[in-house]
Amino acid sequence: MRRSVIAGALFVIGMAACAASPTSPLRLRTIDAFEPHLNTQLTPAEARTRFGSPDEETGSGLRIYIYRLENNIQLWLGFPGDAPIIYARTKAADGTIVDISLRKP
């Protein structure tokens, strides 16, 4: 009996931990939550401050931050080193890519 209570408690704690987004200070991982901050002056450091650590970081010659959003969408942010962003785009699960216009500050 005691083991099943402990196992149940651990299950509930584990589910609560999985429901939270550990890498992003944004409450909602939606494109609508990111878009207001996607401007031509956004740097990698500012992206980490605003959005949290990316889920993936890749690139060859470019620093590309990838954030996983709801509905199996990825947000890709491209930076030339530590300089401001040069592109933002989403990639859907089916491979469809949509460029996002960067706002002027």
CB atoms within 10 A of CB 74: 16
73, pLDDT greater than 90: yes
Task: Please give the DSSP secondary-structure letter assigned to residue 39.
Answer: B
Q: What is the mean pLDDT of residues 39-52?
A: 97
pLDDT value at residue 2: 55
16, pLDDT greater than 90: no
95, pLDDT greater than 90: yes
Strands 97-100 and 56-58: unpaired
Q: Tell me the residue type at 38.
A: L
Please tell me the chain's helix, strand, coil percentages from 3-state DSSP, rounded to the nearest 5. Answer: 35, 25, 40
CB atoms within 10 A of CB 2: 6
